Each structure stands twice: as structure tokens, then as C-alpha cells.
Amino acid sequence: MQKNKIHSIPFLARKPYIIIVERIPGKNAPAVREALEGIFQEYPNVQQTFISITADNGSEFSKLSAQGKEMGIDVYFAQFVDCVD
């Protein structure tokens, strides 16, 4: 891993239509969990603001399903599809 590499997680909240980009200290599940907890604390109506979360299949999102379930938010994982014929 490169030194001084910046990791970030983008979030799109449907209500009130905002994009949140959170810097995290590393590309790992605990860092993602902590970042989400911090973001969720800023919004009193988490379930109305964050209807769902979609992430890729990276290992840093391995605990996301459990965290979404705890918060009452649906979690989806995107699949890479090769569009080359």
C-alpha cells in the first residue's frame, strides 16, 4: 500500500439530495463502519434520509450488510459487468 494515500467513501442522500464524501484512514471494514456511524449521527432521521446504500464488492464493505440492517437501511452490492462484445 502506498504511503499518504487518501481513501474516501462517497454517499448520495436522496433527501435532501446531497452528496457526502467522507475521508477514511484506511481501506478496511472498521474505517468504513466508523465513517458511516459519524455520518448517520448527523442525520436524526437516518432511515428517511438514507433509503439504501450501494457499494462495490471490496473487502472494506464486508460488514456493511450488518450495519445497514442495524440502521434499517437496505444495502446493495454492485456487480461489475464487462460490456465489451
pLDDT digits (tens, 9 = 90+) for 1-23: 455 566 667 666 666 677 788 88
Residue 38 in any domain: the answer is yes
Q: Which of 46, 51, 22 is nearest to 35 (CA)?
A: 22
**Domain span at 65:** 7-77
Integer Cα distance of 65 and 16 in angstroms: 24
CB atoms within 10 A of CB 73: 18
Residue 1 in any domain: the answer is no
Integer Cα distance of 42 and 78 in angstroms: 26
pLDDT digits (tens, 9 = 90+) for 30-69: 999 999 898 888 887 888 888 888 888 889 989 999 998 9
CB 51 within 8 A of CB 43: no
Residue 84 in any domain: the answer is no
